[in-house]
Structure 1
Amino acid sequence: MHLFGSRSNFIIICFCFLQFGCSSDIGKNQNQVVKKLPIMVLQEIDADVDTNYPARIEGKVNVDIRSQAEGYIEKIYVDEGSYVAAGHPLFKINDHSLIEQLNTAKATLNASKAILANATLELDKNKDLSNSNVVSDYQFKSAKATFQNAEAIVNQNTALVEAAKVNLSFSLIKAPVSGYIGRIPKRMGNLVAKGDALPLTTLSDVSEVYAYFSMTEKDYLRFISIAEAKSFQDKVSDMPSVKLILADGNTYSKEGKIQMIDGQFDKATGAISVRAAFENKENILRSGNTGKIVLPENYKDVILVPVLATLDVQNKIFVYRLNKQNKAERVAVKLAGKSGENYLVSSGLNPGDRIVTKDLNLIQEGEQITPEK
């Protein structure tokens, strides 16, 4: 019985070793299963990258229409939103007091002219008598001084008449430029004056519009360095044409041109203001519109990597590159920008490198990969 028990134990132990060995071989074979994944061979190409900047639109000319005369609004010749040509009447201010001022100025001028006429006669008389030694030289000089004073008063009153005429003309407010009328906060019967905080209305010439946007110092330096011209103004002129994406997502039909870069950076934001001009003959764009400026930038001989072929780990971008043994190596890359669904890689990869483009989350460092053909 004892011998039989020993044999049984020996058989059980052997069986366990066999089982363990088989399980180990099976697990080992399972671990050696090689993933078959698609790869991409990298090459250098030229690529365009679009950078978007929020923009606000303003008309080429935006004029606050204010009254230079004080009085009540007597008539309004236009309506909000209407288009007017330069010189078209906009508002009529009650001019009764202005007409009175003009009439008073004219009467004063006429009176001073009469005094001048009398002074002229006295001067001529005393001149002849002085030449004949009938009157003293003093009397002649006194008559001459009276004449000069009367002449000065006439000139002064003439200027007052002209000023009164100008003030009277201010009662009819005309459009200084062609454009669209904005809101009209004050209506007929309201009192207006020079010092009013609100304008009577605004007038916008939108035959050409300006899109204002801000650029970071980094972007500014990059775009300026790309331009080959020597002078700053030539660099601005050489900047590529820009596009405007409207608030509804559509792209405006006309391309614009950068005309101006501000003279200094905003200390609060660290950005600089840029102005691009767009033709707007169809009057689609208005002052106050918003959108996005699309500024293109061309990169020469860069490597493009699909966004889906990258891993974003703690704000760093990685790819899996295959070495000569087809083993996966996780490589950090630096980006120069983005073009569509691709990253532009500035460092970390070279032409001819092979990267995995799928199932990156399932790959381990050093894992054997079979490139999928």
Structure 2
Amino acid sequence: MKKYPIYMGLLVMFIISIGCESHKEEKHEERTFQVTNPIYKDTSITKEYVCQVHSIRNIELRAMEKGYLQEIKVDEGQKVQKGQMMFQIMPNIYQAELQKAKAENDAASIEYQNTKLLADNQVVSPNELALAKANFEKSKAEVKLAETHLGFTNIKAPFDGIMDHLHVREGSMLEEGELLTTLSDNSQMWVYFNVPEAEYLDYIMSAKKEEKKEVSLLMANNKKFNQNGIVETIEGEFNNETGNIAFRATFPNPDGILRHGETGTVLMKTALNHALLIPQKATFEVLDKHFVFVVDQDNVVRQREVKVGAELSNLFEVTQGLEENDKVLLEGIRLVKDGQKIKFELEKADDVLAHLDIYAE
């Protein structure tokens, strides 16, 4: 019975010694790192630009005559048709002026006819006839002017659109030129966005500059608008303060989703030809500079700075610092140090890209 504790102690010591030896063996096991090459690809990048959305027509409706606002025939946010009555200014004064002008025109007409009859019989001189005719023409012009003033009391929609906020109420005393509301034609929208000078030059000097560029719109709710737009115009001058120039894209708006004054982000795809690409995870940053580990001919890793151009999803375009035949450490960059010799496996660049969430062709 006394032997059992001795046997148990020896068994425990044996198991511990085996565990220690296996731990030492694991500790000495050499790790194999994954390495890949940079690769040249034709691809595209999507650039984002903050934008302002404007109606293709957005105007202010103002009173052309002074007077009391007798009636408002539309409501805020209402869709109106071209020619639809919107506001009625009390017309009494202008109706009276029209009647007066018509009466004076009738009198001038009679005077002209009488003078013409006398002139035909050589009773009055030709000058008197000319004066009577001039008075008659003047009275006709005054009738047209009175009709125009009366017409200004009926304010109609100049085009199909959506009415904005009312700035006046029924019964208000209006002054000439006073703002009543604004009207927006949202059938198409103009979207303005600013492009840096370098990107403008790339755009304007591209081989496809004669083709109109198609863009998409990311709305404020982070969802894409259901219609694509076309870049149609570029402003004539750069902003000296920002170094940008304004582009304008036109978007159809059949469902009326977009409204004047909205904001969003224009997404514009740009071709990236023969770009040298590496996975973003193969890089690390030190003081805003990008670095990679390159494996030399002696299997030693060397830290190297690279210049990054365009940024794609999970990829960087390298403009300086790497060649296509360089071996770049793909994973485990935090587990090695500069000058360390490693064991590695080289993965084909195409296979690496195939497992990344990217678009490359």
TM-score class, shorter:
0.7 to 0.9
| Pairs within 5 Å for 1:178-257 | 178-196=160-178, 199-225=179-205, 227-228=206-207, 235=209, 237-257=210-230
Deviation string 1:312-361 (CA, Å, 9 cap, x unpaired) is 22222111111121211222222221111211112221223221123324
| Pairs within 5 Å for 1:18-29 | none
Q: Distance in 1 between matches of 2:265 and 2:234?
A: 17
Q: What SS class does the counterpart of residue 242 from structure 1 fall into?
A: strand
TM-score (norm 1): 0.81
Q: Distance in 2 between matches of 1:269 and 1:43?
A: 35
Moved over 3 A (4+): 32-36
Q: Distance in 2 between matches of 1:171 and 1:332?
A: 74
Residue in structure 2 matched with residue 318 of structure 1 by the alignment: 291
Whether 1:74 and 2:70 are equivalent positions in the alignment is yes
Q: What SS class does the counterpart of residue 98 from structure 1 fall into?
A: helix
Whether 1:171 and 2:153 are equivalent positions in the alignment is yes
Identity of matched residues, %: 29
Q: Distance in 2 between matches of 1:240 and 1:123?
A: 73
Q: Distance in 2 between matches of 1:343 and 1:283?
A: 39
Deviation at 1:123, TM superposition (A): 1.0
CA RMSD for the aligned pairs? Answer: 1.9
Comparing 299-308 and 277-286, the one that deviates more: 299-308
- Equivalent AA in structure 2 for residue 210 of structure 1: W
Deviation at 1:269, TM superposition (A): 2.1
- Equivalent AA in structure 1 for residue 137 of structure 2: N
Contact 2:65 2:177 in 1 (8 A): no
Deviation at 1:190, TM superposition (A): 1.1
Deviation at 1:241, TM superposition (A): 1.2
Deviation at 1:46, TM superposition (A): 1.5
| Pairs within 5 Å for 1:105-116 | 105-116=101-112
Residue in structure 2 matched with residue 61 of structure 1 by the alignment: 57
Larger radius of gyration between Structure 1 and Structure 2: 1
Residue in structure 2 matched with residue 342 of structure 1 by the alignment: 315
- Equivalent AA in structure 1 for residue 240 of structure 2: K
Q: Distance in 2 between matches of 1:194 and 1:328?
A: 80
Q: Distance in 1 between matches of 2:236 and 2:186?
A: 25
Residue in structure 2 matched with residue 130 of structure 1 by the alignment: none
Match of residue 148, structure 1, among 122, 130, 139: 130
Deviation at 1:35, TM superposition (A): 5.3
Residue in structure 1 matched with residue 239 of structure 2 by the alignment: 266
Q: Distance in 1 between matches of 2:35 and 2:213?
A: 36
Whether 1:46 and 2:36 are equivalent positions in the alignment is no
Residue in structure 1 matched with residue 359 of structure 2 by the alignment: none
In the comparison of the two structures, how many residue pairs are matched?
320
- Equivalent AA in structure 2 for residue 262 of structure 1: E
Whether 1:101 and 2:80 are equivalent positions in the alignment is no
Whether 1:352 and 2:312 are equivalent positions in the alignment is no
Q: What SS class does the counterpart of residue 122 from structure 2 fall into?
A: helix
Q: Distance in 2 between matches of 1:77 and 1:104?
A: 29
Deviation string 1:166-204 (CA, Å, 9 cap, x unpaired) is 1111111111110111111111011223332xx211111
TM-score (norm 2): 0.84
Q: Distance in 2 between matches of 1:34 and 1:322?
A: 17
Deviation at 1:34, TM superposition (A): 6.1
Q: Distance in 2 between matches of 1:105 and 1:339?
A: 74
- Equivalent AA in structure 1 for residue 162 of structure 2: Y
Deviation string 1:36-60 (CA, Å, 9 cap, x unpaired) is 3222222111221111000111111
Q: Distance in 2 between matches of 1:40 and 1:312?
A: 19
- Equivalent AA in structure 2 for residue 228 of structure 1: A
Contact 1:242 1:256 in 2 (8 A): yes
Q: What SS class does the counterpart of residue 81 from structure 1 fall into?
A: coil
- Structure 2 alignment gaps of length 5 or more: 1-27, 347-361
